[in-house]
Structure 1
Amino acid sequence: MKRIALGVCYEGTPWLGWQSQAGGNTVQDVLEQALGRFTAQPVSTICAGRTDTGVHALNQVVHLDTTVERSLESWVRGLNALLPDSVAVQWAREVPEDFHARFSAQGRHYIYLLRQHRVRSPLLQGRVAWVFRPLELSLMQQAAQHLVGEHDFSAFRSSQCQAASPVRTMTQIQIQQQGDFFLFRFSANAFLHHMIRNLMGMLVYIGQGRQPPSWVLHLLAQRDRRLSAPTFEASGLYLAGVDYPAHFDLPTSDPDDLLYELSGLRFAKAAENK
């Protein structure tokens, strides 16, 4: 028995999220179906983080156990030949048995793409979120800094969240603007169910001047989801990457490169804006 790790990229619009459901039509369902055909045996997968309906992934990390002998390149090309166009394996690695896609993860990174314009673009539908009211970048940046560090994020978790604790450590939030487009980067040790979409709802309210940046502190202190803004849409959200201990030697992807492929947006790299 060997353990294989896969890096999976998917466009989430056609799927009911990552996690397998009785009716199918999830990313896990189609990936495990392809794995079953590729290995000629049932295969179960474990992922780094379950994404919701309509949420995308640039580098979702998955592991599986198998007795099948295949070259690493065969895992990539063979599976991609069996997967729908909206899902593709980017890389494959054999990993030690103590590797776990979820529990070995040390940090997770998400990006959110938002366009502010008076008219929606059908060409960006499902890939980039949209608001028609003007947004003030500096207000959202001020608000975001209140979220960095260890906090109880109860005000930003779904009522269906199954996490044992609402406490998470946000290591970084960056917000950039280029023309009509805003790019949000979130990094944390882990995220709660709907946490980023709930944070986005709050940040958009603040960016539109409907609440001051200090509202963040009030919501964190109150720990009441009912007091915050509505959950924002899923379409602009991407799981960008997952951090693992260096000795596992897993490939990483640069979200900027993939964003260029996605929409041609030219955002400066985060390091250049520090």
Structure 2
Amino acid sequence: MKNIQLIISYRGTNYCGWQIQPNGVTIQEVIIRAIKELTGESVNLTGSGRTDAGVHALGQSANFFTASTIPPEGWYRALNTRLPADIRVISSRECQLDFHSRYQARGKSYLYKMLASPVASPFLADLAFYVPRTLDWMVMEEAAASFLGEHDFTAFMASGSSIKTTVRTITEISFSNNGDLWEITFTGNGFLYNMVRIMAGTLYEVGYGRLKPQAIKTIIEGKDRSKAGITAPAHGLYLKEVYY
């Protein structure tokens, strides 16, 4: 048996998230089906973590075990002949038998896209959070600095999660833009359920003038979700990279 790691890019618009569920088509399900078409094997495909409905990925990591004779470096080409155009395997390799995409991940980076423009773009409707006015990006960058370091991020977690600890470390937050299209990249050792979307939504509130940049520190310390900003829409979020 070989343990194969895949790096996967996908547009999440037409899917009910990563993880298999009974109520709709998911990324995981489609890739597992493609593997079965190629080899006849019913595999367990382990992702680095879930992405919600509408969320995209530039570099999701997943692994599975196979007895197939397909060369490890050839899996990405073989799978792409069986996958729809909105899912692509970027690379494939053989890894150690004890490699686990989720449990051995040391960190992740996500990016969040916002289009701040008087007119929405029909080409970005499902790929960026549309904001019909200019935001104060300098103030947003100032506010983002309060997220850096190790904190209890209870105030930035959606309900419904059963985890052991809400403490996470954010190592970097960066901003970039191409005209009116802005990207905020968040890098850390892990993220809580909807944490990036709530951080992005809170920075949006700062840029809009509804929150002061100094409020971020107080919100973190207060651990009260109701004090943080909106949960930014799923379609602006991208899983960028998983670190091992």
Same fold (TM over 0.5): yes
**Paired residues of 1:174 and 1:185 also in contact (CA < 8 A):** yes
Deviation string 1:240-273 (CA, Å, 9 cap, x unpaired) is: 11111xxxxxxxxxxxxxxxxxxxxxxxxxxxxx
SS in 2 for 1:74: helix
In 2, Cα distance between equivalents of 1:237 and 1:23: 22
In 2, Cα distance between equivalents of 1:177 and 1:57: 19
**Paired residues of 1:175 and 1:185 also in contact (CA < 8 A):** yes
In 2, Cα distance between equivalents of 1:183 and 1:24: 29
- Residue 38 of structure 1: how far off its partner (Å): 1.3
In 1, Cα distance between equivalents of 2:124 and 2:189: 30
1:238 paired with 2:238, answer: yes
For residues 63-212 of structure 1, what are the structure 2 equivalents within 5 Å?
63-212=63-212
Amino acid at match of 2:237: L
SS in 1 for 2:114: strand
Amino acid at match of 2:153: F
CA RMSD of aligned residues (A): 1.2
SS in 2 for 1:94: strand
In the alignment, which residue of structure 1 is the partner of 2:32? Answer: 32
In 2, Cα distance between equivalents of 1:192 and 1:132: 29
SS in 1 for 2:14: coil
- TM (normalized to structure 1)? 0.86
SS in 1 for 2:51: coil
In the alignment, which residue of structure 2 is the partner of 1:213? Answer: 213
Relative to structure 1, is the Cα distance of residues 207 and 61 closer, same or farther in structure 2, using a 3 angstrom cutoff? same
In 2, Cα distance between equivalents of 1:74 and 1:159: 41
- Residue 73 of structure 1: how far off its partner (Å): 4.2
Report the more deviating stretch, 58-67 or 156-165.
156-165
Deviation string 1:159-214 (CA, Å, 9 cap, x unpaired) is: 02232211100000112234312110100001111001101110000011111101
- Following TM superposition, the consecutive aligned residue runs of length 4 or more in structure 1 with deviations greater than 6 angstroms are none
SS in 1 for 2:90: strand
In the alignment, which residue of structure 2 is the partner of 1:13? Answer: 13
**Paired residues of 2:55 and 2:238 also in contact (CA < 8 A):** yes
Amino acid at match of 1:232: A
Deviation string 1:125-176 (CA, Å, 9 cap, x unpaired) is: 1112210132011110111000000001111101022322111000001122
In the alignment, which residue of structure 1 is the partner of 2:22? Answer: 22
Deviation string 1:72-112 (CA, Å, 9 cap, x unpaired) is: 34311221111111101111100011211011111101111
In 1, Cα distance between equivalents of 2:78 and 2:176: 38
**Paired residues of 2:4 and 2:72 also in contact (CA < 8 A):** no
Unaligned runs of 5+ in 1: 245-274
Amino acid at match of 2:103: F
In 1, Cα distance between equivalents of 2:162 and 2:80: 32
In 1, Cα distance between equivalents of 2:105 and 2:97: 15
SS in 2 for 1:232: coil
Overall identity of the aligned pairs, in %:
39
Unaligned runs of 5+ in 2: none
- Residue 2 of structure 1: how far off its partner (Å): 1.5
In 2, Cα distance between equivalents of 1:96 and 1:176: 37
In 1, Cα distance between equivalents of 2:73 and 2:152: 43
- Residue 237 of structure 1: how far off its partner (Å): 1.1
In 2, Cα distance between equivalents of 1:218 and 1:147: 11
In 2, Cα distance between equivalents of 1:152 and 1:133: 32
In 2, Cα distance between equivalents of 1:81 and 1:73: 15
